[in-house]
Structure 1
Amino acid sequence: MHLDLGVRDAAPDAVLAAARHAESGDFDGIQVPELAHDPLIACALAGSVTERIHTATSIAVAFARNPMTVAQAANDAQLASKGRFSLGLGSQVKPHIEKRFSMPWTAPAPRMREFIAAVRAIWDSWETGERLNVRGEHYTHTLMTPMFSPGQNPYGSPEIWLAAVGPAMTALAGEAADGFIAHAFTTPEYLAEVSLPALADGRARSGRKTTDVILTPFVVTGSDEPERAAAEKAVRSQISFYASTPSYRPVMELHGWENAADALHAASRRGEWDQMGQLITDDMMQAFATFCAPADLRPALEARFASVATRACVT
């Protein structure tokens, strides 16, 4: 199982430093989320100063962009890294798409299927020189002249990973993507009973043989007791935030923690964010988090997830 470093600060200087740190250390790659900086630019920068590690967006918000801009930026990131880049996509949620990005919101799974197909069609047009002819419900791309085509990428097109939580988007990852990015708010049981069967259903629809599984697990670690205690407090807080959100309730329901989910949701509506971590029990922590010493991080994650995952990303 590959181990990647999650880079939350993707400002140019910071992502270059993180990439060099990962390259010189025990990491196999870096993954960059879309927070305060553009993850596609960050991956291109990171790929240009490294020779070994893999780079990936985890994730770039698809619906904040269009397939042409994503295809172009991902192609450049693949060139910059000499073939060591994967395009991780996600849908985000309706308020962010409409109110932060000022873009339209529609049913996410059908739109994402069309988005991925359009990106692949654009890459194919550049690769083969054949006419671009994408005509869908959400996206139309029918114009591509030689001036605007970068031509064949000597390293091939990037892999596409898709982030998903619910069964519909997870099945789409199996159907249309090369990798499935599981949300941090998952457990081995939820993966086995919900996510992996949905992935298999998607693969059956398309005939795909395999789908990589990429995890972003919660980790509690530290070099001494105060560091471990601080890490555990932070993870409890993160878990309580996700557990309070109705979108993630199915994970809680699978474990029989519906009452805790109700209590956390009520506490969130009262604004009791600082107190919510106290509602996360030790059993919940064991289900969601990996506890280990810093030196044991890779073997601890492999022992917990190697049977289902190809990559894990830790911050």
Structure 2
Amino acid sequence: MMLDSGGYAATVTEAADAVAAAERAGYDGAWVAETQIDPFVGLAVAAGRTERVELVTGIAVAFARNPMTVAVQANDLQLLSGGRFVLGLGSQIKPHITKRFGMPWSAPAARMREFVLAVRAIWSAFETGERLRFLGEFYTHTLMTPFFNPGPNPHGNPKVYLAAVGERMTEVAGEVADGMLCHGFSTERYLREVTLPALECGLAKVGKTLDGFDISGPSFVASGSTDEELATAIAEVRRQIAFYGSTPAYRGVLELHGWGALQDDLNALSKRGQWDEMNALVDDEVLNTFAVVGDPKSAAAEIKRRYGDVATRLTVTPPVAAALRDAD
């Protein structure tokens, strides 16, 4: 299993520094998320400071962009990094797409499928010089003159990973992507009973199996070498679980465990801005179902037990990643 380091940087410089630190520490990959910065810019800076580590957008919001801009940015990063770039895409949720980005929202799974296929069609035009002709329901790309065509990438096209939670988006990941980024708001049971069957369904549509398909496993981990460190980590993970649990799009994970009512309560509190009250609703049973909790040695063993036969890579935040690496 590959171990990636990831986090939520506040500046491009902070993101690039974190990626460079991950390479020095021996991690296999490092990802930059789209929160307060553009992940493509952060990784572009990081590419010049690193030589080995794989560079992943984890994630870039697809529906805030269009396939042409993403295809060009990904091609540039693949070239700049010497073939170390992985394009990680996610849909985000409707309020962010329509209210924060001012972009259209409809049929997210179908739109994402078409988005990835359009990106691949554009890359094919770069590689072959043949006429670009992608005609879809959501995206149309039919113009690529030589002046705008960068030509074939000597490192080949980047891998595409797709973030998913629901069955439909997960099926799309199997159909059009090279790997899947399992959302942190998943459980071992959800991964085995919902995610894997949906992935296999999507893969079967294109005549493939899970062999060679990358799966980045769920990564809520609360670990510490002292009681104080562990308590701090647990409090942060409770906050993350409460935040994601308040989102209707992720309700299915809770319902699988019989906790649908918890989503109603968390959502109501979030609308009132009662964040501390939300955290208190995440009891120990919910915490330990979603997260791996314990000292570094026991946490590393539990991660392998839960996901070792399924996940090909795991992404955790830098302090936890360092502890787990040392414990392995």
| TM-score, L = length of structure 2 | 0.91
1:181-236 alpha-carbon deviations (Å, 9 max, x no partner): 11111100000000100001101111123331113411111232112111111111
Aligned 1:277-288 pairs, distance under 5 A:
277-288=279-290
State how far apart, in whole Å, the 1-side matches of 2:247 and 2:12 are: 33
Aligned to 1:156: 156
Distance 2:43 2:209 in 1: 28
**Contact 2:19/2:31 (<8 A) preserved:** no
Question: Which position in structure 2 is the counterpart of 1:235?
Answer: 237
Given that residues 45 and 80 in structure 1 are in contact (C-alpha distance below 8 angstroms), is that contact kept between their aligned partners in structure 2?
no
Cα drift, residue 12 of structure 1: 2.7
| Matches of 2:300 and 2:45, distance apart in 1 | 26
Whole-angstrom distance in 2 between the partners of 1:11 and 1:263: 34
What's the offset of the Cα at 1:83?
A: 0.8
Separation of aligned partners in 1, 2:192 and 2:291: 16
- Letter in structure 2 aligned against 1:207: G
Match of 1:276 in 2: 278
Q: Which runs of 5+ in 1 are unaligned?
A: none
- What CA deviation, in whole Å up to 9, does each residue of 1:232-259 have, x standing for no partner? 1111121122223322221111112234
The aligned residue for residue 112 of structure 1 is: 112
**Aligned in 2, Cα 1:265/1:294: closer, same or farther, shift over 3 Å?**
same
Structure-2 residue corresponding to 1:257: 259
Query: Paired residue for 2:14?
Result: 14
Deviation for aligned residue 1:139:
1.4
The answer for the alignment partner of 1:31 in structure 2 is 31
CA distance in 2, matches of 1:254, 1:68: 38
Q: Is the 8 A contact 1:10 1:32 kept in 2?
A: no
Q: Give the distance between the partners of 1:245 and 1:145, measured in 2 at CA.
A: 43
Name whichever of 74-83 and 6-15 sits farther off: 6-15
Q: In 1, distance between residues paired with 2:103 and 2:91?
A: 12
The question of whether the paired residues in 2 share the 8 Å contact of 1:10 and 1:39 is answered with no
More divergent stretch after superposition (291-300 vs 101-110): 291-300
| Contact 1:10–1:42 (8 Å) recurs in 2 | no
Q: TM-score, normalised by structure 1?
A: 0.95
Give how far 1:282 is off.
1.4
- Structure 2 equivalent of residue 62 of structure 1: 62
SS of the counterpart of 1:6?
A: strand
Residues 44 and 78, structure 1, Cα contact 8 Å, conserved in 2: no
Aligned pairs for 1:270-309 within 5 A: 270-294=272-296, 298-309=300-311
Secondary structure, in 3 states, of the residue corresponding to 1:241? Answer: helix
* % same residue: 53
8 Å Cα contact 1:61-1:92 kept in structure 2: yes
In structure 2, what is the Cα distance between the partners aligned to 1:12 and 1:201? 38
Q: Give the RMSD, CA atoms, in angstroms.
A: 1.7
Which residue identity is paired with 1:27?
Answer: Y
Q: Deviations over 1:140-176 (max 9, x none)?
A: 1111122211111111000111111110000000011
Preserved contact between residue 60 and residue 88 of structure 1 (Cα < 8 Å): yes
1:60 and 1:90 in contact (8 A); partners too: yes
Q: Secondary structure at the match of 2:52?
A: coil
In the alignment, is the contact (CA less than 8 A) between 2:13 and 2:42 conserved in 1?
no
The runs of 5 or more residues in structure 2 that have no matched partner are: 318-328
